[in-house]
Structure 1
Amino acid sequence: MTRIISNLQAVHDAIAQAARMAHRQKENIELVAVSKGFSADAVREAHQAGQLAFGESYIQEAINKIELTRDLPLQWHFIGPVQSNKTRAVSAHFTWVHSLDRLKIAERLSKQRPSNLPPLNICIQVNVSGEDSKSGIAPEEVTELALAVARLPQLKLRGLMTIPAPAEEPETQRIPFFKLHQLMRQINKLGLSLDTLSMGMSHDLCAAILEGATIVRIGRAIFGERIYGENQ
């Protein structure tokens, strides 16, 4: 058994354990393997263990990797900041975007999404912790953006995403995830049907699942330390 395959099994075990603690079904929690900074060969190795969903943040690296694995039935999630000059490439190559925080970007993604592809699944990134260094919209501005995005063609608003400030204590880790879940519930009371909470990475996976995560984004615990970029 290779290192990546062994690591994947350990992550799935951790997800299952957290799901049991939360009295949830592990099948309702999707694992996105964050492959940014790693090779197409690493993606292939993870796929051998059954992994289908992969997360990328750097568009040119991602496109190269997508082309090199075109023969595999993979699902690609864009998890980095979306720049205006990258929206056409993102809309053409990805199934999900987790990091939307501006209506202008949403409008460009909608307009540029190829008509032969299904609507692009969208999560709005929320800066729950209020960190100046983090992307994401302020919690009090999310509802207005969500209602606007939900009206755009070729996009399907699925839910919310966050990358909270690092915390060591499990109870402290849970606070921003609880806030994000509450925010989604508030938005759904307005008539939307959001069903996705993209939250939790290698260091806070359990806390996120306890607070309702439906997608966890795990990189380091699967692939190891990457040379560049933010460890997920």
Structure 2
Amino acid sequence: MTTIATSVADNIARIQQQLQQAAATAKRNPNSVRLIAVSKTKPTALIEQAYQAGQRDFGENYVQEGVDKIQQLSGLTDICWHFIGPLQSNKTKDVAAHFDWVQSIDRLKIARRLSDQRSPDLPPLQVLIQVNIDDETTKSGVSEAELMPLAEAINALPNIELRGLMAIPAPGAASGQTTSFATMHGLFLKLQAQYKQVDTLSMGMSDDVVAAIEHGSTMVRIGTAIFGARST
């Protein structure tokens, strides 16, 4: 009988193969795409199973849930925790203290609070600016016009390090997503030309990962395809 652990391991192996194949097809290094396992709403037992299968990057959307898991799994010292959800100012202290990356910066106020609240004894918090590439009213993120001024301000802050961009294109026709991905890649190259430490473009989920990689994504966020559907 196939166990859940075997299923998680098999899912990760299959997805890694898919990522490597997509990168190779795009004439990129097959190992140039980093997989973030989105573990929101999933129990720590499944995270441990993914860890045993070699997965090290995990993404959480909710601050308290994420902090609880980080504390429970503190013995797994080489896990890299990514906060990938919208972040309110009253939650920044916990994120600054516990996470390694924040992928959803969309306001200077949030970046400043993270910088002020990140202990100098910890490595700098790695941050991505979220771009609302399709101007959706239901999504967080800055506009294209706001991006470079925000990047300049973030780059001057201590205790955090600007590493790149994140986006969640609108669902819909493949042609529309392709345009969004191409625009994001252009913005990423512009940012990278200005700030040499910038090396991360986080975009692509289960349904659009191949197109995202074709357009330069270096980090993809996948949950259900690893852990299974959310329990109700």
Whether TM-score is above 0.5 comes out as yes
For residues 157 and 120 of structure 2, the distance between their equivalents in structure 1, rounded to whole angstroms, comes to: 14
- Asked whether the 8 Å contact 2:20–2:33 carries over to 1, the reply is no
What amino acid is the match of 2:101? W
Tell me which moved more, 173-182 or 99-108: 173-182
| Alignment TM-score, normalising by the size of structure 2 | 0.94
> Deviations 1:73-102 (Å, cap 9, x if unpaired)?
211000001110110000011110000000
The alignment partner of 1:28 has SS state of coil
Structure 2 residue aligned with 1:37: 41
1:166 to 161, 168, 171: 171
The answer on 1:220 being equivalent to 2:221 is no
For residues 191 and 39 of structure 1, the distance between their equivalents in structure 2, rounded to whole angstroms, comes to: 38
**1:15-94 residue pairs with structure 2 within 5 A?**
15-72=19-76, 73-94=78-99
For structure 2, the residue ranges without an aligned partner over 5 or more in a row are none
**1:105-144 residue pairs with structure 2 within 5 A?**
105-144=110-149
> Deviations 1:30-84 (Å, cap 9, x if unpaired)?
1010000100001000001100000001111111111111111211000001110
The answer on 1:195 being equivalent to 2:182 is no
Q: 1:190 to 1:50 in 2, by over 3 A?
A: closer
- Asked whether the 8 Å contact 2:83–2:104 carries over to 1, the reply is yes
What amino acid is the match of 2:61? S
For structure 1, the residue ranges without an aligned partner over 5 or more in a row are none
State the 4+ residue runs in structure 1 displaced beyond 6 angstroms.
none
1:152 to 157, 162, 169: 157
Could you tell me how far 1:190 is from its partner in structure 2? 3.5
What amino acid is the match of 2:161? K
The alignment partner of 1:26 has SS state of coil
Give the root-mean-square deviation of aligned CA atoms.
1.3
Q: 1:114 to 1:191 in 2, by over 3 A?
A: closer
For residues 156 and 196 of structure 2, the distance between their equivalents in structure 1, rounded to whole angstroms, comes to: 10
Identity of paired residues, percent? 48
Q: 1:188 to 1:175 in 2, by over 3 A?
A: same
